[in-house]
């Protein structure tokens, strides 16, 4: 009897332990405030709010709008703290608004603040948000423009004199590189234990870094070199003298932080030059990697590289996403990384062990004898790819007979090799393409272990061009420099790619003085990195070429000529049909739900619509999309992103569209949701500009009518 009783006690204890083990962890996400970029340091884009839910979301209406007065791409994920909304405008001002009414409170303009005129900050490129920190009554926002970072008072918008050099600091002074490089920040990081932690955006000839600064003083606390210095771990994956010829490997897409464990997850880009790797053969750590760092001292804990020796500009385009899943009967904290290839890689947060096997598979061999490709690339075995992995004859466009014929003819000429076409002087089809797969908007994840992400399915072209004549003699210097440093974005003929944010260079001399053009090249702007590390001689040679005053004579061979790579990229070019639509069978853009408890794809739906094609009887195609989703405890998934200027709500369980509204411009930003005066709002920055669409700078807030909001539960 005693033995049976003892067994019963053991069984009861075991049952209690299993029951405790099976309890779901507390949900993690944004509450009444949206005080962090993407809602939470874990970059999970999840809200605990449920006043807006699947039953009432169809009643959403515009609550207020605010016009920033800017007309450039507006990609800010806005912060909301204590009833105040903070937005980074398209020209990198910071504006504070009443979150319930949209009424203007203050605007901080760095161009009217910083007195350093010499190497100021007229450039700076896109800004996707700001960082917030508080310590008692000390409440600060951190923002940047060009190489300058600012700490401003969240109450007044005024610089805080005790930070840096009177309220600002030069980021280039904090990254251990000569010449005070024009380093910057286009994606905000997070503040952890009074440390401002973020990835530093650099040009291709400056090594990247992740840094932590003291939130009070701006002094550097630690630095991790994402392009290792000689003797550091990872330097053995580079050839001798590599720092003289390369840079980059920065984290421009953003970080995530496990605040309980104190771990930073950094997602890096390729090393420079993006498309020429003859001088940097090796695996090239820590380019194209997810790096887990100790948030207190910056030491590497583990890493994984997604592309070895990248020759195709396959940056990690999105920050990692932290979530918790059910695995073999236990809850496991994981980190998920999306890629331009439409692949999801999933790891244990602490150990870096993949949840499912990752296989090294053979990759195409280079067709250029002096630029070797790495023989293998890693592929996850689960989840399945979220998009097609190669363009085949089964994928030719079916929206018209003309489009079908165009695609059929070209695929037989160019050949297709997936994401890793062999380096070649012949045109190849690259699919998945340079803009994904996934993009910088990030992924949303709910407490059930489901990850939501939008994906592009657009084919592009890949081709290298020589920077010398066929006989090996050098081209005129300006032409050669242009091919090496400018053609990849603006095209060999300078026509650019307006749909991708690369403007035409035609008639440049009519739009800029020579001094103005030199300043633009040095400072950068929009998608263009600064070229402040390039000599004035080289910059003037490029302008001679662009302004049409370059001499046809042979230049002398010198160190400057020898420093340019022998091959350059032809330029970013989507493969479009005669009507301007992607030359591939739809879908062209999708929204996906992935169950990371099992690795199964839960649902996939087209994201976006071309009404003119629908009117022709063509099923919904989806569109190219930029900007990410937000998922809520109310069961609703919100996303803009599309080329049709719509904002949509989906049922998170089924992917069914529950509501949609017109935006004044494309919502190419990740939305935010918050509570103000007892009402839940959803806001999105609407600036357009992607996919060759109109450009503006409007902020739009939606909410339920007062009666509907009063009848709903507004809690967290």
What is the domain partition of the chain in residue ranges? 468-564
The Cα–Cα gap between 15 and 564 comes to 68
- What pLDDT does 239 receive? 97
For residue 200, give the H/E element and its range.
strand 195-200
| Confidence label for 626 from pLDDT (cuts 50, 70 and 90) | very high
The Cα–Cα gap between 234 and 208 comes to 14
pLDDT exceeds 70 at position 272: yes
- What pLDDT does 14 receive? 35
pTM of the model: 0.90
- What pLDDT does 490 receive? 84
**Residue 508 · residue 109 · CB < 8 Å:** no
Residues in the chain: 716
Q: Which two tokens stand for residue 546?
A: 């662009």
CA–centroid distance for 208 within its chain: 16
- What pLDDT does 20 receive? 41
- What pLDDT does 326 receive? 97
- What pLDDT does 460 receive? 96
pLDDT exceeds 50 at position 548: yes
- What pLDDT does 690 receive? 92
pLDDT tens, position by position, 432-451: 999 999 999 999 999 999 99
pLDDT exceeds 60 at position 507: yes
pLDDT exceeds 90 at position 9: no
| Confidence label for 687 from pLDDT (cuts 50, 70 and 90) | very high
Over range 589-614, report the average pLDDT: 98
pLDDT exceeds 90 at position 714: no
For residue 294, give the H/E element and its range.
strand 289-294
Average pLDDT over all residues of the chain: 90
- What pLDDT does 159 receive? 97
pLDDT exceeds 50 at position 79: yes
pLDDT exceeds 80 at position 252: yes
For residue 53, give the H/E element and its range.
none
pLDDT tens, position by position, 475-496: 777 777 777 778 767 877 777 7
Q: Which two tokens stand for residue 478?
A: 């300006």
Sheet holding 168-170, edge to edge: 131-135, 138-145, 148-153, 168-170
Over range 109-114, report the average pLDDT: 87
Least confident of 39-48, 302-311, 445-454, 469-478: 469-478
pLDDT exceeds 70 at position 699: yes
CATH 2.60.120.10 fits 468-564, yes or no: no
Higher pLDDT, 404 or 518: 404
pLDDT exceeds 90 at position 16: no
Over range 258-266, report the average pLDDT: 98
pLDDT exceeds 90 at position 677: yes
- What pLDDT does 126 receive? 81
- What pLDDT does 713 receive? 61
| Confidence label for 560 from pLDDT (cuts 50, 70 and 90) | very low
pLDDT exceeds 80 at position 520: no
**Residue 587 · residue 622 · CB < 8 Å:** yes
């Amino acid at each position: 009897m005693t033995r049976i009783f003892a067994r019963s006690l053991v069984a009861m204890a075991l049952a209690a332990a299993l029951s405790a083990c099976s309890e779901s962890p507390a949900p993690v996400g944004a509450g009444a405030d949206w005080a962090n970029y993407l809602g939470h340091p874990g970059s999970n884009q999840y809200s605990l709010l449920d006043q807006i839910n699947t039953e009432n979301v169809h009643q959403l209406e515009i609550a207020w709008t605010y016009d920033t007065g800017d007309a450039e791409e507006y990609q800010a994920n806005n912060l909301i703290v204590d009833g105040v909304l903070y937005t980074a405008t398209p020209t990198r001002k910071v504006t504070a608004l009443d979150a319930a009414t949209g009424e203007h409170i203050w605007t901080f303009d760095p161009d009217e603040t910083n007195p350093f005129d010499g190497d100021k900050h007229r450039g700076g490129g896109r800004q996707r948000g700001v960082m917030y920190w508080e310590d008692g009554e000390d409440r600060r926002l951190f923002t940047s423009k060009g190489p300058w970072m600012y700490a401003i008072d969240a109450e007044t918008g005024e610089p805080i004199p005790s930070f840096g050099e009177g309220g600002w600091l030069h980021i280039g002074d904090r990254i251990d590189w000569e010449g005070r490089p024009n380093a910057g920040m286009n994606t905000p990081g997070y503040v952890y234990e009074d440390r401002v932690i973020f990835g530093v955006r650099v040009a291709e000839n400056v090594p990247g870094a992740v840094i932590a600064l003291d939130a009070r003083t701006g002094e550097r606390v630690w630095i991790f070199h994402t392009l290792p210095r000689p003797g550091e771990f990872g330097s053995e994956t580079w050839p001798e003298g590599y720092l003289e010829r390369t840079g980059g490997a920065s984290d421009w897409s953003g970080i995530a932080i496990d605040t309980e464990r104190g771990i930073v997850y950094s997602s890096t880009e390729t090393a420079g030059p993006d498309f020429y790797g003859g001088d940097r053969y090796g695996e090239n750590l820590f380019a194209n990697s997810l790096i887990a760092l100790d948030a207190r001292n910056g030491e590497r804990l583990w890493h994984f590289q997604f592309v070895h020796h990248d020759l195709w500009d396959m940056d990690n385009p999105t920050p990692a996403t932290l979530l918790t899943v059910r695995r073999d009967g236990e809850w496991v904290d994981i980190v998920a990384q999306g890629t331009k290839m439409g692949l999801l890689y999933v790891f244990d947060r602490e150990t870096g062990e993949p949840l499912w096997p990752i296989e090294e598979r053979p990759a195409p061999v280079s067709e250029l004898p002096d630029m070797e490709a790495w023989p293998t690339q890693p592929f996850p075995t689960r989840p399945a790819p979220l998009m097609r992995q190669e363009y085949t004859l089964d994928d030719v466009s079916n929206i018209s007979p003309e489009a079908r014929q165009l695609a059929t003819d070209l695929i037989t000429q160019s050949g297709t090799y997936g994401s890793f076409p062999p380096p070649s002087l012949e045109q190849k089809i690259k699919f998945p393409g340079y803009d994904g797969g996934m993009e910088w908007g990030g992924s949303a994840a709910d407490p059930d272990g489901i990850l939501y992400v939008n994906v592009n399915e657009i084919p592009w072209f890949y081709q290298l061009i020589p920077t010398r004549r066929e006989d090996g003699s050098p081209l005129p210097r300006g032409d050669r420099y242009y091919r090496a440093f400018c053609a990849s974005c603006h095209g060999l003929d300078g026509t650019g790619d307006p749909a991708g944010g690369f403007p035409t260079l035609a008639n440049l001399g009519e739009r800029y003085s020579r001094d103005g053009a030199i300043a633009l090249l040095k400072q950068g702007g929009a998608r263009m990195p600064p070229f402040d590390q390039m000599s004035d001689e080289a910059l003037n040679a490029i302008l001679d070429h662009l302004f049409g005053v370059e001499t046809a004579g042979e230049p002398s061979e010198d160190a400057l000529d020898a420093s340019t790579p022998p091959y350059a990229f032809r330029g970013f070019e989507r493969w479009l049909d005669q009507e301007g639509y992607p030359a591939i069978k739809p879908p062209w853009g999708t929204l996906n739900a992935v169950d990371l408890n099992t690795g199964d794809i839960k649902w996939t739906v087209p994201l976006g619509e071309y009404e003119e094609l629908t009117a022709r009887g063509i099923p919904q195609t989806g569109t190219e999309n930029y900007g990410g989703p937000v998922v809520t405890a109310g069961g609703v998934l919100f996303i803009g992103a599309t080329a049709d200027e719509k904002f949509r709500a989906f049922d998170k369980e089924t992917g069914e569209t529950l509501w949609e509204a017109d935006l004044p411009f494309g919502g190419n930003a990740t939305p935010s949701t918050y509570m103000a005066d007892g009402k839940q709002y959803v806001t999105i920055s609407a600036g357009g500009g992607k996919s060759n669409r109109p450009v503006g700078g409007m902020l739009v807030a939606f909410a339920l009518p007062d009666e509907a909001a009063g009848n709903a539960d507004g809690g967290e």
